[in-house]
């Protein structure tokens, strides 16, 4: 009986530890994604290079499908046009909005535990929200605070 109880407690401790580590790592990933978007806000060329790189990969994939005969010329042009449109849309989107959402994700979804990454995300979330509001004001985009949540 004692061995069973020890085994059950050990399994429970293992599950708790695994969940804790998972939440901390997810919070770290969300924080780092938020920081990436903040960097993109500071240096838009990083954002452009990232999405241009994604587009180049898609273009190469479409070209290989065209060459292999799995894609017609019309379909190739259509897919290419759509990929370019998607890239342009993603470049036009607010990096501050995405940074805020990633920090918010870390704070709301990956706590408890109150890990180091959650604390950093909470700090960045407040700063980023204010920057995002300034961006919206500068673009004369009307908003209410509840819309940014």
pLDDT for 111 equals 87
- Phi then psi for 28, rounded to 5 degrees? -65, -45
Q: How far apart are the C-alpha atoms of 65 and 59, rounded to whole Å?
A: 10
Q: Where are the domains of the chain?
A: 22-148
pLDDT for 149 equals 85
pLDDT for 123 equals 97
Question: Are the beta carbons of 77 and 118 closer than 8 angstroms?
Answer: no
List the chain residues with pLDDT less than 70.
none
Instruction: Tell me the three state secondary structure of residue 69.
Output: coil
Question: Are the beta carbons of 82 and 92 closer than 8 angstroms?
Answer: no
Question: Are the beta carbons of 68 and 43 closer than 8 angstroms?
Answer: no
pLDDT for 118 equals 97
**Contacts with 80 (C-beta within 8 Å, 6 or more apart), sequence order:** 58, 59, 62
Query: Model's pTM, two decimal places?
Result: 0.84
Question: Are the beta carbons of 46 and 39 closer than 8 angstroms?
Answer: yes
SS (H, E, C) 20-48: HHHHHHHHHHHHHHHHHHHHHHHCHHHHH
Q: How far apart are the C-alpha atoms of 116 and 36, rounded to whole Å?
A: 18
Instruction: Tell me the three state secondary structure of residue 93.
Output: coil
């Amino acid at each position: 009986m004692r061995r069973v109880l020890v085994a059950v407690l050990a399994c429970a401790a293992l599950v708790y530890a695994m969940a804790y580590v998972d939440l901390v790592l997810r919070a770290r990933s969300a924080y780092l994604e938020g920081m990436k978007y903040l960097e993109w806000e500071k240096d838009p060329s990083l954002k452009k290079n990232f999405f241009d790189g994604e587009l180049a990969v898609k273009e190469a994939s479409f070209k290989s499908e065209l060459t292999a005969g799995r894609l017609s010329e019309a379909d190739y042009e259509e897919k290419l046009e759509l990929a370019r449109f998607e890239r342009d849309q993603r470049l036009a989107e607010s990096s501050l909005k995405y940074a805020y959402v990633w920090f918010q994700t870390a704070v709301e979804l990956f706590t408890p535990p109150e890990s180091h990454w959650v604390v950093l995300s909470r700090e960045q979330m407040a700063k980023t929200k204010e920057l995002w509001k300034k961006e919206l004001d500068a673009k004369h985009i009307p908003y209410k605070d509840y819309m940014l949540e």
